Amino acid sequence: MKHSLSYVVSLIVTIFGANASTADTVEFGTFDFAPYVLHDDPEGRHGLFLDITTAIADRADVPINNSVLPIARVIKNMERGLTDCVVALETPWTLEHLAQVSEIHDRLEIIIATRPEFEITQLSDLRGQRLAIPRGTFRGSPVMSEPEIERVLTNGYEQSIDLLRAGRVDAIAGTALSLYHSFTTENVKRHDIGVVFPVESNSLWLQCVKGQVSDDILAKMDQATSALRDEGAIDALLQRYIPPEFK
């Protein structure tokens, strides 16, 4: 059966139009790690990185797919070209492999929380003391390089908190948002902690695989991120994940 020329042209336009639409969809990967992603949160929150990704995509008017996966899987998918972009801290690996599209926030802190009545004003005050640190974290950080601190490696923030409560360590270290979230889930109140001491700040960036997203879309997402940051919308999202007593 023969088709008219107009029918064939329409079919071609439809097919290629659909492919173009799919090609313009940005594939995001989000680390499945609280509080960056939350499941069944009693306050109805979805997680900080999910909130940020959605806000950027909505402001930029860019269609996205967002896959919530373990950190190692997200990285592997980026290496294979299956994932285009992430919201992540700036690290040596991301600087080498990813394009830094736009800075989202410049003050995501690593903190130390001490046992009650133990005062510190600088990291060196922990010399001769026991500091709990989740295993495999903070490579290259002053937390790991300061001499004469007895580091107790744990399997996560919950175990670190258990050791602090039991008096088996003098302080615990962690990223502020993750540690605050664990305080909430473990029912730790402000009076259960002595000093909350910031050690260093890291920058959170929108980052994409080099050469995988069009310049036009990158520009749209950069402008959207800058607008959200300058308007205070990013900081407002972040504040939702800090317990009031620790703000």
Domain boundaries, the chain: 5-107+203-246, 108-201
Burial category of 171 from C-beta neighbours within 10 Å (exposed 0-12, middle 13-18, buried 19 and up)? buried
Which carries the bigger pLDDT value, residue 92 or residue 228? 228
Which carries the bigger pLDDT value, residue 10 or residue 185? 185
- C-alpha to C-alpha distances, 128 to 125, 150, 151, nearest whole angstrom: 8, 7, 10
pLDDT at 156: 93
5-107+203-246 and 108-201 in the same fold? yes
The length of the chain, given as a count of residues: 247
Domain spanning 108-201, CATH architecture: 3-Layer(aba) Sandwich (3.40)
To the question of domain 5-107+203-246 being in CATH 3.30.70.1520, the answer is no
pLDDT at 175: 93
Ranking 109-113, 136-140, 210-214, 236-240 by mean pLDDT, the lowest is: 136-140
For 108-125, what is each residue's pLDDT tens digit? 899 999 999 999 999 999
Q: How confident is the model at residue 214 (pLDDT cuts 50, 70, 90)?
A: very high
Average pLDDT score, the chain: 89
Q: How confident is the model at residue 22 (pLDDT cuts 50, 70, 90)?
A: very low
pLDDT at 107: 86
Which carries the bigger pLDDT value, residue 168 or residue 15? 168
Q: Where are the beta strands (DSSP E) in 135-241?
A: 150-154, 171-175, 196-209
